[in-house]
Structure 1
Amino acid sequence: MSRATAAARDTAGPSGAPAASSRPPAGAAGVPGAASGTTGPPLATAEASPRSARLGAWAELLRLPALFTVPGDALAGAAAAGVRPGPRTLLAIGSSLCLYEAGMALNDWADRAEDAAERPHRPLPSGRIRPAAALTAAGALTGAGLALAAGAGRTALAVAAPLAATVWAYDLALKHTPAGPAAMAAARGLDLLLGAAATGGGTRAALPCAALLGSHTLAVTAVSRRETTGGSVLAPLAALATTGALTGLVARRRTRLPAGRRAAAAPGLSGSTPAPAVTDALAAALGAAYAATAARPYFHAALNPSPPLTRRAVGGGIRATIPLQAALAARSGASATSLLVAALAPAGRWFAKRSAMRKVSIT
């Protein structure tokens, strides 16, 4: 995803999948990958031990804080398909995480020459990670992601295979072409469908939610393509309009589900089904949180399309993926799932502040 949104890398974007960047997750999630590089100093310092410096370099390469944007894809997909998350949903989440990180590693490997000129502090051009090691990691993570999807069933593997192909195609061929943002959007949408397929609910019912999440990833990726140079007013304005439209769609009253399907889509206490008014109110509140997270940095980037504000807009768009996933789950009638997804946002912030990841940019 830039390396936005897999996964988005944003989403391949998977969930992944790649993210968006001028050079452009996840996630992704590929998953909607993440946007391009960090702006701060390298994580490793002269005082750091060799082991901690090495681990810090890999954390920077893989952009670990962005991983919190990935599990919501599979959970929202299960909710949209009208089924409760289960063990196979966990396999889908594991697959998404692997494919998202594969997109991150592959993104930096593909951009190593460009990073040497524009971001010499990144792990590969600085020599802290060898290019061959990054490429090997991308291949191994892709294999692990496909194996986990296969464990969730043939239908899940049938979705994960094109997701993995989209991640690799984006990073190696499509990133700098007009098709780049669309590839990132496809990766994030496929990641949501992977959750629906793995959980056993089928993918057709989850297509509308996949389209909405893909639209968000498309907007973030388009903004990220200018994050190192700035100068684009149109992209953040378009992203701002997209955010408004998506907020309106997730806040609309949903079509009432049949009683049996509504009960399956709303995991909670045995025999309990949230009242439609409750899930509608929850979807509206989470939609407002999505808008609050994404709209302001987009607006600032439109007023002043400098590289720092453009990068901030990309970061805001990536972080907004979580409340959007939660709002989509609530709109599908799965209130407990939506609250679980929403909790990933503060968990991600806590993780970034309390660990060595605090210096690792989400983009």
Structure 2
Amino acid sequence: MLVTTTPPDGAPASAVGDAPAPEISEEAIGRAVEAALAAAAAAATTAELKQVRIEHTGDASVISRANASIKSLPKDQRASAGKLVGQAKGRVFQAVSARQDELAAAEEEAALASETVDVTLPTDRRPRGARHPLTTLADRIADIFIGMGWEIAEGPEVEAEWFNFDALNFDADHPARQMQDTFYVAGPDGAAGSGQVLRTHTSPVQARALIERGVPLYIACPGTVFRTDELDATHTPVFTQVEGLAIDKGLTMANLVGTLDTLAEALFGGAPITRLRPSYFPFTEPSAEMDFRCFSCDAREGLDHDADPACRVCGGTGWIEMGGCGMVNPAVLRACGVDPEEYQGFAFGLGIERILMLRNGVGDMHDMVEGDVRFSQHYGTEI
């Protein structure tokens, strides 16, 4: 079928610019369709297919110009020409649409393959937490005692008054037993009559171990303790202690000094200079406070060197308090079923927060308790 598209007199030569109107015949329209289908099949990307769509279905394409010229045909030819051109447009649009789906699916698959993430691999995209330095230091101290052949013992944080006070030779009217110093657990008879407290030290673990394990006994007891202190730069109502207890035949203060010297050397390095100052604790007799020579100022050079008056670590005294210690009071041994005529021993207690402040220069207790991960992260390389 051949349909002429010669415009009537006075009509424009073409619907688009001055280009001649295309021939509307099955052969001509068929060639245009085949060219469009071949171009669509040859397109390798959606971007190339977009250009094919513009060239073969846009206003300047053969099919679009043929469609625009139908209105200039005689009325008896418009129906057949419209059917021919409409079918051609449908085939081209269908082929382009199908190719679009193929290319889009292929590109999406390629993108997924190139962007595949192995979810089993570790990632740093989310900030990591860190072990709290108090935990790390407590483990380090425990390792030191284990290296000396001691055992690690633990006990409950809610403790019976008998273990917390009575077994340790605290008198009934001792100030430490007052509610302004100790957290009592409320009971049927009121707080003070409940018979249970939040332990004020880890010494109850020593009493429990003596009763449960017997003697000889060498244990270290790290753990959390509670006192009614206000939180400030150097105090907190919840803190961490480690206490040591050694019960055997023939132990003396010399064994205590040697143990604490070994601990100080392992924690602070070098060969620390130590001293004992007389003191008093209900559960030890004799009792002492152990100090060691300041490691921050000139006092670390020896007893013949003066301390720096401006030293913030030792306060210009040249000595740093390490903790309380002494020989176990015979009354404590008897309360726990041990014969003090046959067995003797020593005990000591250290604050882990204080050790951390001295070892690492932490100036404020708030930094340890506020839970800011930035405080803990740089302790991750602790060995």
TM-score scaled to structure 1, two decimals?
0.26
Give the structure with higher Rg (CA): 2
Say which structure is richer in strand. 2
Which structure ranks higher in relative contact order (CA pairs < 8 Å, sequence separation ≥ 6)? 1
Say which structure is richer in helix. 1
